[in-house]
Amino acid sequence: MINEYDEIKLLLKRSRMLTEQSEIVNLGKSIETNINQDSESKNDNTDINQIKKDKSKTYRISGGLLTMHGKDKKDLELTTDEKTAFQETMDEFVSEVSDLSDFGVLNMYYNDVQWSGKIIDVDIEFFYAIGENNGVYVNGDMIKLDDKLTELIGKLTAFYDRFKSKWAGVISNRKKTKKI
């Protein structure tokens, strides 16, 4: 038997899925239009297939996934310091925020780091970003507002400051050690 709460939650979920599908279709059309416009504006000597594409390589570290993104093979190499930073990040999150967490992939770009996951006991997804989209973001369906949630949001925000400090240092270190 479905109660009103479950029915509203189901309707919200379906609505989000339809919205996401619509956005994906519109994004695909937009990209296709931009590619067609770009290829028309380039001279005949340039082929769109010659544009250097970003590469990525994913590493499994203690049950978590870290994906390096870059232009060449050197950008995809993982150092011991980066591996340690990732392990420490997961361990510190578990001890400081929530031990009931599923971590998503940590994506490391030249100027950005993005990491997401889900806090299982309150059914909230979190997203940390440093770089262009600085901040901590949360997502959830029909979340009960109470003291436990307020405390969790405080912990997520406090941990973000440590996350930002650690990973900004990692990015900075990568830029310093990059060979020209």
Question: Does the pLDDT value for residue 39 go beyond 70?
Answer: no
Q: How far apart are CA 35 and CA 16, in angstroms?
A: 28
60 secondary structure, DSSP code: E
pLDDT in tens, 75-130: 899 999 999 999 999 999 999 999 999 999 999 998 999 999 999 988 999 999 99
* DSSP character string of 78-128: PPHHHHHHHHHHHHHHHHHT-SSEEEEEEEE-SS-EEEEEEEGGGTEEEEE
Q: pTM of this prediction?
A: 0.67
CA-closest candidate to residue 101, choices 85, 89, 83: 89
Q: How far apart are CA 159 and CA 167, in angstroms?
A: 12
pLDDT in tens, 123-174: 999 999 998 889 999 998 888 889 999 999 999 999 999 999 999 999 988 8
Query: Contact, 123 vs 101, CB < 8 A?
Result: no
pLDDT in tens, 57-78: 999 998 899 999 998 888 899 9
CA-closest candidate to residue 82, choices 162, 140, 169: 169
Query: Contact, 65 vs 106, CB < 8 A?
Result: yes
Task: Quickly state the pLDDT bin for 22 (edges 50, 70, 90).
Answer: low
CA-closest candidate to residue 78, choices 92, 91, 64: 64
Q: So where are the chain's domains?
A: 4-49, 53-177
Q: Which amino acid is at 5?
A: Y
Question: Does the pLDDT value for residue 47 go beyond 50?
Answer: no
The backbone region for 131, taken as left when phi is positive above 0, alpha when psi lies in -120 to 50, beta otherwise, is left
The set of residues, in sequence order, having a beta carbon less than 8 Å from that of 159 and lying 6+ positions away, is: 92, 93, 96, 97
E-assigned strands of the chain? 55-61, 64-70, 101-108, 113-119, 124-130, 135-140
